[in-house]
Chain A
Amino acid sequence: MTTMTLTREAAVRAPRRMAGFWPTSPALMLLTVFFVAPVLGLLLRSVLEPQPGLQNYVEVFGSTTYLRVFVNTFVVATIVTVVTLMLAFPVAWFLAVAPRRWASLLFAVILLSMWTNLLTRTYAWMVLLQRTGIINKTLMGWGLIASPLPLINNLTGVTVGMTYIMLPFMVLPLQSTIRSLDPATFRAASLCGANRLQVFTRVFLPLAVPGIGAGVLMVFVMSLGYFVTPALLGGTSNMMLAELIAQLVQSLLNWGLAGAAALILLVVSLGIYAVQFRFFGFKAAGEVE
């Protein structure tokens, strides 16, 4: 309320070209002090600690240990993105065309899963995938396997857990894209002699590219920086970048290296979003919530 009166007074006093800026200033101040400054501070430490120079970057890119973390991060993010897309596309298609009753039922399930606490979902998968968990017990009960499969603390565990969490973020943009397609385009294609497969590959897929692009980029970037699920479902041998940053700070107190790793993660993530912004506009980038 104070700002609204403030807007008035400010509009009278302030130069015309800043019209309407003042209401944004409390939020801007909060972000400048507690977001921009701390993040810049962290990134600066990467070139200032332990002594000024680029030695942290030399170490990060030069050591096989850290290189393995980078490679693993990209591998996991890629696998999760591909698996999620494969599952999400038919689901989004179903949501867009199926009878309303079934579509809204599935939609409710997706929202329930998405809104359920992140740790609850991760815990559920820890329980299901553990050595004596339901999946191993069931498979052994059916005689399909003789001893429990290693499903947790490895790539399998991370992939299952992350795919579970990322699915809604892929399904939602995809289904809104598919829903917006014009059936007349499809009819035109088949009237012109295209068979089903051709209609799918030459009309459907190209038209769905904005949705696919939005979903793929978002899931990929979110996976790159994910912390909780890899930390609980992954193993020590396939650590991801976010876990490395946390470990450098919490156990090794190596702020210089942590800053360097953070800068790399930040540049890659925001870089990918910039590409998305360029090609699909801001709406696609902010569509998640």
Chain B
Amino acid sequence: MLLDFNRLGGLRVALSAIAFLVGAFLLLPIVVIVLLSFGSSRYLQFPPPAWTLRWYEELFDNPDWLASFATSFEIAVVVAVAATLLGLMASFGLARGRFPGKEALRALFLTPMVMPVVVLAVALYAFFLRLQLNGTFVGFVIAHTIIALPFAIISISNALEGFDKSIEDAAVLCGASPLEAKLRVTLPAIRSGLFGAAIFSFLASWDEVVVAIFMASPDLQTLPVRIFSTLQQDLSPVIAAVSSILVALTVLLMAVAAIFRRGKPA
């Protein structure tokens, strides 16, 4: 009865009301920011006194913002490729290997996901000071790959564990080389896991801010770093414009993911 929506009685109203309010709580800030990005008030008055595209013009006229968009995108693409490749290999080892310390190794691979990012950020910052990697593209890629790797490994491992290895063995029996069997049978079968790994790794890097704040130099700033340092000075409406573009990208990504999921046999 507590699990049957139609027999909840008064509770049904209460649950629905709370669900509605929490939904509004989650949605409204995002909606407000998108509306304000088209509002004319520099002080973010709501409702806006008039509508304008001024903040988007300011954004696109500013080479620093554009450079940060490009930097973030380039780093995230390289990280997605690197983390997916490393994650694929590591997942093969974790899923099929039989060696002592395998569970400890799995735990080590997942640790960057559960430990406080600020500790990793400070530690890497100190290390990179010596290697002079702070503020470099390579430095960002290394740091973000470490953060993205657990997501890639979880996604690929899940797919690999759901794949029956005897199909790969059958291909080998039918005359394929072991490598050919992996490339032409196993990889296509786990492609949704690989796709997920690439997406999650991309997002882990694209949204990462704490490590980036420490590592960034005036010349090389990812988008989150530029937003963070701007926010410490003022709540410029240009950030509302940047935010709205990011929200639009998120919605787009969710739509792609939904289509992708629908296309897959259940």
Among A113, A116, A125, A255, contact of B246 (Cβ-Cβ < 8 Å): A116
* CB-defined contacts of B246 to chain A, threshold 8 Å: 116-117, 120
Cβ-defined contact, B178 with A8, below 8 A = yes
Interface string of A255-289 (1 = CB under 8 A from B): 10010001001100110010000000010011011
Interface of B is mostly: helix
22 residue pairs from A and B, CB less than 8 Å apart: A8-B179, A17-B98, A24-B90, A27-B109, A31-B108, A31-B109, A31-B146, A42-B126, A91-B19, A93-B15, A96-B3, A109-B27, A119-B227, A120-B243, A123-B33, A123-B231, A125-B29, A127-B240, A225-B116, A232-B228, A262-B122, A273-B114
Distance of A224 Cα from B99 Cα, bound (Å): 35
Taking the closest CB of chain A, its distance from the CB of B261, in whole angstroms, is: 12
Among A23, A95, A127, contact of B36 (Cβ-Cβ < 8 Å): A127
* CB-defined contacts of B119 to chain A, threshold 8 Å: 39, 42, 225, 245, 262, 265-266
Cβ-defined contact, A204 with B2, below 8 A = yes
For residue B167, CB closer than 8 A to chain A, the reply is no
Distance of A197 Cα from B27 Cα, bound (Å): 32
Distance of A167 Cα from B19 Cα, bound (Å): 12
Chain B residues at the A interface, C-beta cutoff of 8 Å: 1-5, 8, 14-16, 18-19, 22-23, 25-27, 29-30, 32-33, 36, 43-46, 86-87, 89-90, 92-94, 96-100, 105, 107-127, 142-143, 145-146, 149-151, 153-155, 178-179, 182-183, 200, 203, 207, 209-210, 213-214, 224, 227-228, 231-232, 235, 239-240, 242-243, 246-247, 250-251, 253-254
For residue A57, CB closer than 8 A to chain B, the reply is no
Chain A residues at the B interface, C-beta cutoff of 8 Å: 1, 3-5, 7-8, 17-24, 26-28, 30-31, 34-39, 41-42, 45, 87, 90-91, 93-99, 102, 105-106, 108-113, 115-128, 130, 132-134, 137, 164, 167, 178, 181, 183, 186-187, 190, 196, 199-200, 204, 221, 224-225, 227-228, 232, 242, 245-246, 249-250, 255, 258, 262, 265-266, 269-270, 273, 282, 285-286, 288-289
